[in-house]
Amino acid sequence: MSKLFTPVTFGPLTLRNRTIRSAAFESMCPGNAPSQMLLDYHRSVAAGGVGMTTVAYAAVTQSGLSFDRQLWMRPEIIPGLKKLTDAVHAEGAAAAIQLGHCGNMSHKSICGVTPVGASSGFNLYSPTFVRGLKKEELPEMARAYGHAVNLAREAGFDAVEIHAGHGYLISQFLSLYTNRRKDCFGGSLENRMRFMDMVMEEVMRAAGNDMAVLVKTNMRDGFKGGMEINETMQVAKRLEQSGAHALVLSGGFVSKAPMYVMRGQMPIHSMTHYMNCWWLKYGVRMVGKWMIPTVPFKEAYFLEDALKFRAEIKMPLVYVGGLVSREKIDEVLNDGFEAVQMARALLNEPGFVNRMREEEKAIC
């Protein structure tokens, strides 16, 4: 019997099946607020049979915005988000929202301030200078995550997913590549986990006993000099100790190894279409394929690493990364993962989960 269409529980939340729409960025939030398009898309995924759909990457503060059409969690947008969660619930699915801060992956024209990160420097991705967060600023930043969890509850979400991977702010503190601090938040891994610990304390306090908390974390940063499994395993174990209800196992740095996250060929033309800086736009078009090499796609490309975490971590684990067929999803669930996340399959076909009910060989 397939586990795919059996219920699964994360903390206080039980899903109708073991599929989750992963938090792939939608770019459907003009003015950093939810739109009818965002509601319609997530309603279509819910109607397509998914157990839970995740609204992507909502910034916990204005300084955490990395895109023009990205959500920014604040009281004004709660009524619009409530309409979205009501629509998702009406289709029988649960609703989650990913909460994060982009750290140095922004520009003043987008986030309203000089971008902040674990350390000062220059970010070619934007391009812009970046200011390292002061030690005394960190408690307030951590509290912003907790405040965002409370707003998510008010908006009707059943779960939050804290983004601690992919080279965003928490990940920037964890990785020696971006953390060059000389205080108690830099140096040893124990020190580099301090900001994450602060965030999780605020998040779990705010979540209480009625919201599920998932955390997306890296298994590898995906480049030489980034975090490897010997360190990320310790991060996962610390998150288990924090009381999180599940980990979503991912990898890659969007500023350094973006195709390690997604695999395949970098969509250079589409990416540069949205760049405002003319010299960066044409520079990337000319040399982008050498700057950002293709990483070949294969189904379940993170599975080998994820199995190492499954062997050592007792808490629920969610597999994400290149799932496009029911056969491979069944294999992953039989390997001991509690649930699976999908992005590209549900972007291509919002009703893919319903089709998998009918077709054992379904592939998207």
Q: With contact defined as beta carbons under 8 Å apart, do 355 and 24 qualify? A: no
Residues with a known catalytic role? 168
- Could you tell me how many residues make up the chain? 364
Report how far residue 313's alpha carbon sits from residue 315's, in angstroms, rounded to the nearest whole number.
6
CA atoms within 13 A on the CB side of 323: 28
- The number of helices, as runs of H, and strands, as runs of E, in the chain is 15, 13
Q: What is the dihedral of CA 153, 158, 164, 169, to 10 degrees?
A: -30
Look at residues 85, 24, 8 and name the one whose alpha carbon lies nearest to residue 262: 24
- Sign for the CA dihedral angle at 319, 322, 325, 331 comes to negative
24's CB contacts (< 8 A; 6+ apart) are: 56, 343, 344, 347
